Structure formats: C-alpha cells, structure tokens
Amino acid sequence: MLSMTCRNLDFGTRVLDLVAVGSYSNASIVRHSVKYLGKTFTSKVYGARRMVCSRLNIRRTRVFSTNTSEALFDGVGEGTTPVLDLNKEAKSPISLANLFEVVADDLQTLNQNLQSIVGAENPVLMSAAEQIFGAGGKRMRPALVFLVSRATAELAGLKDLTTKHRRLAEIIEMIHTASLIHDDVLDESDMRRGKETVHQLYGTRVAVLAGDFMFAQSSWYLANLENLEVIKLISQVIKDFASGEIKQASSLFDCDVELEEYLLKSYYKTASLIAASTKGAAIFSGADGSITEQMYEFGKNLGLSFQVVDDILDFTQSAEQLGKPAGSDLAKGNLTAPVIFALEKEPKLREIIESEFCETGSLDEAIELVKQCGGIERAQELAKEKADLAIKNLQCLPQSNFQLALEDMVKFNLERID
C-alpha cells in the first residue's frame, strides 16, 4: 500500500540520535546511568573485561591500572575472549561518556572541524547546523569510526589516526546530520528531543537547502579522499538511505510485511551507514580484506541491533522518556519487529492495523496486543541475536581498550531494553 502524502517517513534512528546528536546534555546522560543503578540489575556479560571498562577512567594509553580483582588484560593479548553469557552483577552500567573517553580528543577535534566546514559558508546555515549538531551531542557514529580506526591501526603499525580517518568521521556525521534535517522535513516534525527542528525554526527551504548543502559537502570531501573503494562504499549508503525511505513509505500499514523486509529496510536506513563507517575506518588503517569485511559485518550487526532496540523502546518507554507519544511508529503505520512478531500470533491485531486506527483507542489496544503476544520478547531476542553476531565480528581485532569499547557499545545498546 502506497500512501505518500499523509504519513510520516521516519528514518528510525531515534535511539542512536538520542545519544549521538542533539540536545542531550551531559546531565541527562548521568541521570540515565543513575536510574539503572537503582534497579537490581543483571545483564548478560561477555567476559570480565566489561566491568573493568565501566569502572575505570580509561585513558588513551594502552596500559591502565585497576582495583578490581577480576581478570584483567594488559592491553595487548591473544584473541581468546570467550563469548559466553556470564550472569554477573554489573558493578555499574556502561555510560557513553566512559565509552567514548578513549576517543574524547578525536571527538572534540571533529566538533570543531564540523563547525568550521558548515559555518564558513553562511551564518544562517551555521545557525541551522548548530541547531541540529547541538551542544553535547554524543556523536556515536564518529565515535565508532575512531574506535575502529584505533582498534585496527595497531594491525597496520599506525601510531595515530590519519587525516583520512578523521575526514571519514566528519563525512559520516555530515551525512547522518543531513538525513536528520531532511527527515524532519519529511516528517514535518517540530521537535527533536526537546529542541525545535531546523524545519520548524527556519522553514522548509532552509531545511532542504541545509540538508542539500551537507550532502554536497560530504560528497565533495568523499571524492577528495581519493579512495575508490570508500567512495563506492559511501555512495552506496546514500543510495540506501533513499531506498529505505521509499521502501518504508510504500509499505505503511501493510500487515503482510515479512521480517526479512523489515531487516532490509532497517539495514538501508540505519545499519548501512554504520557498516560503511566501520569498514571505511578499517580500510584507512590498511587492514586486509578479511578484517575490513569483519568490520563491515560488525557495523551492520550493531546497526541492526540498534534499530531493533529503538523499535522496542517505542513500545516500552513512556512518552516522557521518548520525548514524544509512545507507539508513534505503529501510529504511522510503520510496522516494526515487535508488531511483526505479534501479528504472527494475533489476527485481531491485523484488523486493527488495517483499519489504520480510525477508531479512538484502537492504537492503545494494538499496543496492548503487541505486548500480550510476546512481540517485545521476541524482538529482544532478535536484538540479542544481532548483538551476539557483532561481538563475534570483533574477535579478529587485537585486544585493546578500543576493542573493549566497541564491545561495550554493543552491550550498552542492549541494556537500554533490560
């Protein structure tokens, strides 16, 4: 069913954005962590290293001291990490701030560069960009580029990140930001996590133009990296973005949607960019084909896991936590993993969805049905499955605090649905 005019087209990367870009201040990240501490908290743990990561103030040097008695690693070790589920009490939850500390300087340089790239052109564009780049944006995608760059750099004997690594991260963040700006135009969204959207503040024209400008800038920087493999990789992503939007828009309220289709759409809209980022980072580290492929798979699986968690939270979080009404994917007819699983069990749900929620209260009823039919649990399993694959993909990397941080990213994501 194609209905293009009235429905929101949603890029579906909200959780990533929650932590990566926008108005999330440091304060709210800390509150998020504190909430978790309050609960009695068990999580699946991959080896002892996780706790070490969380507790320590990780610096960029490879050697660090710790007070825990858990098995430690010394920065360079063999690839013998067991990928087992060890139910251990977490000493503290992973916070993104800790996770990103190892690349904090890289992220700071990135922020400065992005401001000058965008701001140099025009003051209005600068304001528009500031609106979306925001203060305290967490930059998850660039962080991934930096982490993978550093994690693979050792394999190539590199001491530090190259200019191309940094530029790649900037390109990725510009593409992501451009897509958010256009996304808000497509959605006619007024707010993005507490801040007005570019579209709302400056109008459609500025939003379309700012998005076009950023896409154009990133294409130009990409071309000047002069690496055909990476150029093709990222061009594929931009194509995938557009295809994903179109695919989603074409299948709103379509209850025959299969899980594979959903995964493909999620790949186009979210995982494709992340996969290209991680692979590109490995390419610029001079890593060989098998490593770059593993990094691609890592990014893809991580991205899919993110998207599934994102889709779960749309059902399980309150409007306050989400910053918008709950169940908005479903309301728009965008049928995600929890719904697809629930539809297998409950024919009534199909009826309600196909009615496009014309009756008052039918949306709430649908949400209830999704929860009752175990849609959430099965989606959690799917998220976990992708996360497991992502962890496996990391095994080809030498052990380091960067590799640890990458594992922690995977786990941080899952913790959001515990």
- Positions touching a second copy (CB under 8 A) are 2, 4-5, 9, 121-125, 182, 185-186, 202-206, 208-209, 212-213, 215-217, 219-220, 222-224, 226, 228, 231-232, 235-236, 238-239, 241-243, 245-246, 249-250
CB of 127 to a second copy, least distance (A): 10
Q: Which of 141, 144, 57, 138 is nearest to 92 (CA)?
A: 57
Half-sphere exposure of residue 162: CA atoms within 13 angstroms, side-chain side: 18
3-state secondary structure of 257: coil
Q: Cα 286 to the chain's mean position, in Å? A: 25
Nearer to a second copy, 81 or 334 (CB): 334
CB of 123 to a second copy, least distance (A): 7
CB of 125 to a second copy, least distance (A): 7
Q: Which of 133, 123, 53, 48 is nearest to 89 (CA)?
A: 48
| Alpha-carbon span 310 to 306, nearest angstrom | 6
User: Tokens in use for 314?
Assistant: 């749309």
Nearer to a second copy, 133 or 213 (CB): 213
Radius of gyration of the chain (CA): 21
CB of 204 to a second copy, least distance (A): 6
Nearer to a second copy, 245 or 388 (CB): 245
Nearer to a second copy, 238 or 382 (CB): 238
Nearer to a second copy, 90 or 214 (CB): 214
CB of 328 to a second copy, least distance (A): 17
CA distances from 62 to 159, 401, 408 (A): 12, 7, 17
Q: Which helix (H) or strand (E) holds 46?
A: none
| Alpha-carbon span 26 to 97, nearest angstrom | 8
CB of 370 to a second copy, least distance (A): 27
List all residues 6 or more positions away from 279 whose beta carbon is below 8 Å from its beta carbon: 233, 292, 293, 295, 296, 299
| Alpha-carbon span 282 to 151, nearest angstrom | 9
Q: Cα 26 to the chain's mean position, in Å? A: 18
Nearer to a second copy, 249 or 322 (CB): 249
Residue 403 identity (one-letter amino acid): Q
Q: What angle do CA 237, 242, 243 make, to 5 degrees?
A: 90
Nearer to a second copy, 143 or 233 (CB): 233
Nearer to a second copy, 111 or 243 (CB): 243
Nearer to a second copy, 194 or 203 (CB): 203
Nearer to a second copy, 93 or 333 (CB): 333
Adjacent-strand bridge partners of 44: 87
CB of 252 to a second copy, least distance (A): 12
| Alpha-carbon span 174 to 153, nearest angstrom | 24
List all residues 6 or more positions away from 198 whose beta carbon is below 8 Å from its beta carbon: 128, 131, 132, 181, 184, 206, 207, 210
CB of 196 to a second copy, least distance (A): 14
Q: Which of 335, 263, 346 is nearest to 306 (CA)?
A: 263
| Alpha-carbon span 358 to 21, nearest angstrom | 35
| Alpha-carbon span 305 to 301, nearest angstrom | 6
CB of 172 to a second copy, least distance (A): 15
CB of 261 to a second copy, least distance (A): 14
